[in-house]
Amino acid sequence: MAFDISIDIGGTFTDCVVADEAGDVRIYKARSTPGAFEDGFLEALRLAAADRGLDLAGLLAATTRIVHGTTVSTNALVEGKVARVGFIANAGFPDILTLREGPRKRAFEWRLDFPAPFVPPERTATVGGRLDASGAEIEPLVEADVLAAIGRFRATGVEAVGVCLLWSIVDGTHERRVAEILAREWPELPVTLSHELNPIPREYRRAISTVIDASLARIVGDYVTVLREALAANGYARELLVANSVGGMMPPDEIVRRPIYSVMSGPTLAPIAARHLSDAADVIVVDMGGTTFDVSAIRGGEVIVTPEAMIGPDMLGIPKVDVRSIGAGGGSIARVDAGGLLRVGPESAGAVPGPACYAMGGAAATVTDANVVLGILDPDFFLGGRIRLDAAAAERAVDAVADALGVTRMEAAHAIHTTSNHNMITAIEDITVREGINPRESYLVCGGGATACHIGEMAEIIGIEGYMIPRFAAGLSAYGGLISDLRWAESATLATDSRRFDLAAVNRVLAALRARGEAFLDRAGVPAEDRAYEYAYQGRYEFQSWDIEVAFTPSGEGLAPGDIDTLVAAFHATHERIYTIFDTDDVVEMTSWRVRAVGRNHLADRLAAGETDTREAPVPKAQRDVHVHALGGLQRLDVHDGEALRPGMEIHGPAVVEATTFTTLLRPGHVARIDGHGNYLVTVARSGDPAAAQ
């Protein structure tokens, strides 16, 4: 029996999804181990091996593919634990990272914050020499300035360097010469060149991505090395694949070469999973873990990719699947502020010490503790009974909040639960309402081990009439990694427009980008029959400031004259989808071009659905008291065994469904039907229905 494995490390748990060659897919969860993530990684594999009657070596020997979504680079950036990076810019342009792009504040954000730049002035150096927009040399590179920069960097403890010079995207000669001098004088220093990493015309975005990449070089390199060695020592002889920020996988050598593409990569896999699980054209994907709540969207059947992803106060600077994250998870800490108001998150108890009910030293009340007090979670059946929760510790933690608020324990627990829901709804509105999208017109797919306890109330408040709780909701990102393609993007700058379209030049650029994509697939060992290529350009109306990404498909090996109108029509349609307006009389400017190389993964084709015509009614395994606020308090609810449910069965709320890795609270008026893949398809009663009025 051969296996495919995907592992996603979260802030609290490490998720492992394993598929065998017969299409049987199972999920396992182990506690994450910050500081030595490989330990949690291997523990999740041991759980999978034991379930299959194997030891770890036996499982790894039979495994053909391991894919991994890592949080190591994201955590390093968020916590400021990156390498001390130096920045080299042109003389006269030392403040690119300080001034950023001067973005407009939103209308009601009246506080003006001016955060410190990613690289401070004392680690910023400038060098003489200039190229113009055509690549012609106006002034030669002043090599003495590079040597002076090295001296400055040594004095300030620099550990990596990013180089971003003007118009290097047209001719990278000056940047390459800077790198040669750095290699000669300081050979062990990691160096990132902007024209190689991110050849786009906007200096800030190119510069910030360059220094972020440089700051992560050793961190990601060391992490991948440790993980590969740990797997090899336990019998895994094949290549590890690592998730990237564009919703695909890359060989580890590629991610080490461009570590910025590992940033926020784990959450990008949730919408990949949702696109496979749902046929809906417009989907909101939510993923509540132990630390964060991630929201993404699918529009017209396509996962949304944004060039404006943020990491703290800075842009990431590269395209990324549009996932918005807030500090709202099962481990989010509840507290009462000086004004007597309840706050939930963004601080989290994390994996260590974890919620109070974990009995690992945590004392503060968390969302998980509240759900134990409310009766939603069974302390004796957490992760199928593998972990026993301390209900008394949860009660003591919630009591502290109740005393501060002057309410009962149950009222405090409900307040924590519903406040967390409203925090998550705000994140959903950020990616829908603030983008001009009515969330009620979307389907909702939820992931994360904690989400199914909360999704019902959230759907009602938003006004969504149907949602899905996948069978592998507790490891949605890991499942997305299991079925995701190998994916890489190459880009280049070439300015043209619809009025004077330079067809020959564009085709030369596209051919070069495709050749680089083919080289990537060659290195990854992807057979010719599994290769595909996706094309896009960055465009804008004439005199607009900002670009949008527009996907297109050439009619042949390159663009033909008749394709130009198709490119323009695609821009108008994309502009209308994003901004609700378009102008067919305006000139469309194209600024840069992108080719994505894809190595197809056919595993999803093997995951066949089961029959869905059973008429058998589900039999509850037990009953217990659960607080249902809509019904006035504690109610005796049926508790169903999620592992015993079969396709076609229906469960009517209010009820609880306990799977091994997650618990679902079905609210009054909600009906869950099990589909052929074991997912729960839930319909919500409309406001006029009797069930909804309960």
164-190 pLDDT tens trace: 999 999 999 999 999 999 999 999 999
The percentage of the chain sitting over the pLDDT mark of 70, rounded to a whole number, equals 96
pLDDT in tens, 622-677: 999 999 999 999 999 999 999 999 999 999 999 999 999 999 999 999 999 999 88
pLDDT for the residue numbered 694: 38
pLDDT in tens, 559-596: 999 999 999 999 999 999 888 899 999 999 999 999 99
pLDDT for the residue numbered 608: 61
Q: Please state whether beta strands 310-311 and 314-315 pair in parallel, antiparallel, or not at all (unpaired).
A: antiparallel
pLDDT for the residue numbered 30: 92
Q: How far apart are CA 320 and CA 326, in angstroms?
A: 17
Instruction: List the single range of 104-113, 361-370, 467-476, 524-533 with lowest mean pLDDT.
Output: 104-113
pLDDT for the residue numbered 440: 92
pLDDT at 325 over 60: yes
Domain-located, residue 249? no
Domain-located, residue 512? yes
Residue 587 belongs to a domain with what CATH number? 3.30.1490
pLDDT for the residue numbered 614: 72
- Mean pLDDT for 255-271 is 92
pLDDT in tens, 420-442: 999 999 999 988 888 778 899 99
pLDDT at 297 over 70: yes
Domain-located, residue 425? no
Domain-located, residue 91? yes
pLDDT for the residue numbered 689: 45
User: How far apart, in Å, are the Cα atoms of 473 and each of 421, 445, 655, 663?
Assistant: 18, 9, 18, 10
- Mean pLDDT for 99-115 is 71
Domain-located, residue 316? no
Q: How far apart are CA 103 and CA 329, in angstroms?
A: 30
pLDDT for the residue numbered 382: 92
Number of domains in the chain: 2
Largest CA distance in the chain: 81
Q: How far apart are CA 84 and CA 529, in angstroms?
A: 44
Confidence band (pLDDT; 50, 70, 90) for 610?
A: low
Residue (of 467, 468, 464, 466) closest to 440 by Cα position = 464
- Mean pLDDT for 481-491 is 92
pLDDT at 472 over 70: yes
Domain-located, residue 460? no
pLDDT in tens, 302-320: 898 888 888 888 899 998 9
Q: What angle do CA 612, 618, 619 make, to 5 degrees?
A: 160
From 539, 566, 600, the end of a domain falls on 600
Between 617 and 615, residue with greater pLDDT: 617
Q: Which amino acid is at 315?
A: M
pLDDT at 102 over 80: no
From 220, 238, 259, the end of a domain falls on 220
Whole-model pTM? 0.88
The SS3 of residue 540 is strand
Buried b (16+ CB within 10 A) or exposed e, 436-464: ebebeebbbbbbbbbbbbbbbbbbbebeb
From 220, 245, 261, the end of a domain falls on 220
First to last CA, the chain: 51
- Mean pLDDT for 268-292 is 91
- Mean pLDDT for 397-410 is 97
pLDDT in tens, 196-243: 999 998 899 999 999 999 999 999 999 999 999 999 999 999 989 999
- Mean pLDDT for 480-488 is 92
Q: What is the mean pLDDT of the chain?
A: 92
Domain-located, residue 329? no
pLDDT at 690 over 60: no
Name residues whose C-beta falls within 8 Å of residue 507's C-beta, 6 or more positions apart in sequence. 558, 559
- Mean pLDDT for 493-503 is 95
Confidence band (pLDDT; 50, 70, 90) for 110?
A: low
User: Domain range spanning residue 564?
Assistant: 486-600
Q: What are phi and psi of 649, to 5 degrees?
A: -70, 150
pLDDT in tens, 50-76: 999 999 999 999 999 999 988 788 888
Residue at token pair 């390459």: 176
- Mean pLDDT for 365-391 is 95
Strands (E), 393-474: 443-447, 466-469
Between 50 and 449, residue with greater pLDDT: 50
- Mean pLDDT for 28-34 is 89
Q: How far apart are CA 669 and CA 682, in angstroms?
A: 10
User: What angle separates helix 455-462 from helix 409-431, to the nearest 10 degrees?
Assistant: 60
Domain-located, residue 347? no
